Amino acid sequence: MSESAKWYVVHTYSGYENAVKTSIEKFVTGRNMEDMILRIEIPLETVTEVTDSGSTKEVERKVFPGYVLIKMIMTDDTWHLVRNVRGVTGFVGSANKAIPLTEEEVLAMGMEKHEIVVRYQVGDHVKIVDGPLASFTGIVEEIEPEKNRVSVMVSMFGRETPVELELDQVEVQK
C-alpha cells in the first residue's frame, strides 16, 4: 500500500455520469474499499442562461460531459471494480494503462485546493520570493484570496509599478 491515491479520469457513455458515480459508490461501500477509492467527482459549473422570454436562470452543467474523476489507489482490484461498472467505457490513458492526472491538472480543475495562509495585510512591506521579480520589495495594495491574487506596489526603475502576484509569491519583509 505504498502507492498514494491519485486522480484518474474514467470515460463513460454520455449521460451515464451520475449512474456510474452511484454504481461505483455502491460497489466501494459493499466491498469495504473506502480506503482504496476515496472520491468520485463529476465536475460541475454554474451557468446563467437567458431564456426565450428574456429571463435568466442558473443551471448546473457538466464541465466534462462523458467523464467522471476518481481519486483512488490503482490496483488490479480497483481497476477491475471501476472498469466493469455498467456505463464505463474505460480509463483515459494508453491501452490498458490508466494515466493519473498531474498535480497541476488537478489544481487547475479545482478538484483539490492548497490552503495558503496569508500572513500579511494591505499596507505591509513584503518581499517577492518567487517568479521573475524575486527579491524585489513592495507594499501590499490589495489582497484577493478567492482569486489567489495579491497586488503589490513595487519600485522599478525609479517608478512605482503595480504588480499582480499569487498569494504564496510574497512574504512579510523582516
Q: Tell me, yes or no, whether 141 and 99 share the same domain.
A: no
**What's the mean pLDDT in 56-85?**
90
**What's the mean pLDDT in 110-127?**
79
Whether the model clears a pTM of 0.75, i.e. scores above it, the answer is no
Q: Tell me, yes or no, whether 55 and 30 share the same domain.
A: yes
Domain annotation covers residue 116: no
Q: Do residues 6 and 92 lie in contact, with contact meaning Cβ atoms separated by under 8 Å? A: no
Q: Tell me, yes or no, whether 101 and 23 share the same domain.
A: yes
Structural domain total, the chain: 2
Q: Tell me, yes or no, whether 134 and 60 share the same domain.
A: no
Q: Predicted confidence band at 2 (pLDDT cuts at 50, 70, 90)?
A: very low
Answer with the residue of higher pLDDT: 116 or 57: 57
CA atoms within 13 A on the CB side of 103: 3
Domain annotation covers residue 141: yes
Q: Tell me, yes or no, whether 161 and 80 share the same domain.
A: no
Domain annotation covers residue 18: yes
Q: Tell me, yes or no, whether 129 and 104 share the same domain.
A: no
Q: Which residues pair with 37 in a beta bridge?
A: 72
Helix 76-83 / helix 17-30 crossing angle, nearest 10 deg: 140
Domain boundary among 78, 109, 140: 109
Does 36 have pLDDT greater than 50? yes
Dist. CA 27–CA 85, nearest whole Å: 9
Q: What is the pLDDT of residues 83-113, one digit of tens each?
A: 999 999 999 987 678 899 888 888 777 666 5
CA 82 remoteness from chain centre: 22
Domain that holds residue 49: 6-109
